[in-house]
Chain A
Amino acid sequence: MFSLASLRPLLLATAVLAGSVGPSAASEVRPPFGYGTPATPEQIAGWDIDARGEDGQGLPAGKGDVAQGAEVFAEQCTACHGTFGEGEGRYPKLAGGAGSLTADRPELTVGSYWPFAVTLWDYINRAMPFGAPHTLSADDVYALTAYILNLNNLVPEGFVADKESLPKVKMPNHDNFTWQDPRPDTAMKPCMTNCVDPSTLKIVSTAEGQELTPRTTGPLDDMQPK
């Protein structure tokens, strides 16, 4: 194995002589290297699990309805997410929160926040149930998706989720996302002297006395919310 640093003089020499000599040293450190093995269609099919939010590309065959979803949910999901997606403890709430995004304490759920229904299928399929991810059948994932959408009143009770129907589900918050980063959105000047009137300075918030800080010496803290 050679180092790239040791090749640098060669590369420079090659640049000087460009076109005047045969195969260059530089071409030896450019792709393709030919390492690895071609991925077969069968291999790709096993790992190519993503379903694209916008148009559902990648959604597999299969289907599931709301009633089936309720059964699967009761078996696989309620321990963390509650019977109706209300969330146990600090586990995520899946339903509700409609109209809360401008409130002081917004509730970000599938119904109130998620911009794409297909993303729900993709996420359940790849990451749920939490203790045994990517073990549900495609039908069960479709059924759970239908059930959670129904909990949020986004589809009727008779809804059947499949690769045709899911991309068509209109998510209420879809149009409230912008996908272009508008930053920088602050334009502070690097003022160096008399930048603030000192008489206006006051502490508006302090962590002192709040008792929210775990200890930073000794064993790990196990403090719980009060």
Chain B
Amino acid sequence: MPFSSFEDARKASLAAGVERVQVPRRLLLKMAGAAAGAALIDGRTARADGAAPPADNEWSQSLGAGVVDQPYGKPSAEQVDVIRRNVPWLTAGTESSISFSPLQSLHGIITPNGLFFERYHAGRPDVEADKHRLMIHGLVDRPLILTMKDILRFPSTSRIHFIECPANGGMEWRGAQLNSLQFTHGMVSCAEWTGVKLSTLLEEVGLKKDAQWVLVEGADGAHMTRSLPLSKCLDDCLVVYAQNGEALRPEQGYPLRLIVPGWEGNVSVKWLRRIKVGDKPWYTREETSKYTDLMPDGKSRGFTWLIDAKSVITFPCPEVPLSGPGLYEIRGLAWTGNGRIKEVHVSTDGGVNWRQAELKDPVLSKALARFTIPWRWDGKPAFLESRAVDETGFVQPTLAALRQVRGTSSVYHNNAIQTWQVKPDGSIYDVQLG
């Protein structure tokens, strides 16, 4: 059966099973692997069930898919388990809810765009970029409306920053509940963001003398609003249109969002449509009823924006257990809103003794940092912990130390040391030590 193109031959080989396909010699001459071709010409199959070698696998004896088979690339079909997941019992529905990034399957400091955790307060709007506008007004000299084309003309800046929801780990305040790295720590992700410095936009409109605070508002149904002190806006905030080199994903605020580096994720308002400059904070619902911290004495803390130093061991973890005694590389992530991670320490005995882990370049300000440390597991029970120290010298606390100050009702800002229990069979469990 003759074929007029590689594509026809490939489809036929997939349909018929590779050993029965006769590929014309003129096509075979163009093929890279002469040996594979020879096997086909002879009508023999060198394929064996199970893993090669010495036999070839079928993908080595057939044509692969051509370019633009997937015009926008996707992960291997085998990676089907590596997805954002939610905790259905946590929220009333999915529109005001959270999904968790699969940290157990990730290997770098950059979160792939399709796996970046999601947080919506009124679902994900499908914003049309050419109809989107950013209005800047309030205590400014020249109130302005910008289209996306206007925003793209401003000088651009790219920076790598994490975003963490302050409720990350919130379900663990009262006790260990979720036996999963994805669900205990997956409300953090990190990307390269490209856009305009907020300071540039504020300079463009000109600030009036009394300007002290900035209200940022989203175009979603929640019309999400938060107050930010002007000093932070002028320091390092970005108004971004791109994430890891491509346009923002709708989940992350397409076509425009704010990035407030190192602060709780909620203030990095997505689908950003309005910036208002004022002289006082607004005390919006999201900074009074929510995103405030209730203390054991009944008092509450507001405007607790900073993400304090935190770390977690990502291998091993409940989803990725150990496979018998031997040498392993313990791996993990550390981050802080206070600049750079200075050191990470790892304990395998529940915090009795610690060793300094190796930080992997690059260690960037307000970005995820990777750490590793070799560990020879003897097959005995163990308790794995990591502890981050940031450049201010702040040391990631134990949960006991946090509870001593904040009790168990504060929901947000749980940056406690995580303990993974290692059982003799290599399985890993989320536990808390006392």
Contacts and interface: CB of A to CB of B under 8 A. Distances in A.
A198 B144 contact: no
A205 B178 contact: no
A108 B211 CA distance: 33
A39 B138 CA distance: 11
Interface in B275-312: 276, 278, 280-285, 288-289, 292, 294, 296-306, 308
Chain A contact residues: over half helix, strand or loop, or mixed?
A: loop
A181 interface: yes
Contacts of B180: 207, 213-214, 216
B122 interface: yes
Contacts of A75: none
B8 interface: no
A37 B150 CA distance: 9
A36 B387 contact: no
Contact of B282 (A52, A120, A214, A220): A52
Nearest to B206: A32
Given A43-B145, A190-B343, A127 B285 contact: yes
Contacts of B429: 206-208
A38 B144 contact: yes
Contact of A201 (B81, B92, B204, B350): B350
A214 B85 contact: yes
B203 interface: yes
A184 B156 contact: no
B204 A54 contact: no
Given A204-B433, A207-B429, A213-B179, A102 B298 contact: yes
Interface stretch (B55-63, B217-225, B324-332): B217-225
A33 B154 contact: yes
A44 B297 contact: no
B397 A207 contact: no
Contacts of A84: none
B282 A205 contact: no
A189 B394 CA distance: 9
B257 interface: no
Contact of A90 (B91, B222, B274, B396): B91
A177 B354 contact: no
A31 to B, nearest CB: 4
A110 B285 CA distance: 10
B1 interface: no
Nearest to A123: B285
A89 interface: yes
A47 B274 contact: yes
Given A39-B137, A181-B305, A217 B81 contact: yes
Given A115-B288, A213-B178, A133 B223 contact: yes
B433 A202 contact: yes
A50 B282 contact: yes
Given A182-B301, A193-B353, A115 B88 contact: no
Contact of B432 (A43, A44, A52, A204): A204
Q: Which of B180, B345, B402 has the most CB of A within 10 A?
A: B180
Interface string B159-186: 0000000000000000111111011000
Contacts of A55: 280
Contacts, number: 276
Interface string A71-114: 00000000010000000011100000000011000101010011
A106 B294 CA distance: 9
Contacts of B142: 32, 38
B249 interface: no
A33 B146 CA distance: 12
Chain B contact residues: over half helix, strand or loop, or mixed?
A: loop
A177 B302 contact: yes
A195 B179 contact: no
A133 B120 CA distance: 14
B354 A193 contact: yes
Contacts of B395: 186-190
A53 B430 CA distance: 41
Contact of A184 (B143, B222, B281, B308): B308
A210 B88 CA distance: 15
A196 interface: yes
Interface in A211-226: 212-214, 216-218, 220-225
A216 B84 CA distance: 9
Contact of A89 (B92, B144, B276): B92
Contact of A198 (B308, B349, B432, B434): B349
B104 A216 contact: yes
B405 A186 contact: yes
B155 interface: yes
A179 B302 contact: yes
Contacts of B260: none
Contacts of B272: none
Contacts of B283: 52-54, 115-116, 119
A4 interface: yes
Contacts of A102: 296-298
Interface of B: 81, 83, 85-89, 91-92, 95-96, 102, 104, 121-122, 135-137, 142-147, 150-151, 153-156, 175-180, 182-183, 200, 203-204, 206, 215, 217, 221-223, 225, 273-274, 276, 278, 280-285, 288-289, 292, 294, 296-306, 308, 318-319, 343, 345, 349-356, 383, 387, 389, 394-398, 401-402, 405-406, 409, 413, 421, 429-434
Given A38-B142, A54-B281, A177-B288, 5 more contacts: A133-B222, A207-B178, A208-B429, A216-B182, A224-B88
Task: List 5 tightest A-B contacts by C-beta distance, closest first.
Answer: A53-B283, A204-B434, A205-B175, A126-B223, A123-B285
25 contacts: A31-B204, A36-B204, A37-B144, A38-B145, A39-B136, A47-B135, A48-B137, A50-B282, A54-B281, A116-B288, A119-B285, A126-B225, A130-B122, A130-B221, A176-B298, A181-B303, A181-B306, A183-B413, A196-B350, A203-B432, A204-B432, A204-B433, A205-B176, A207-B178, A216-B81
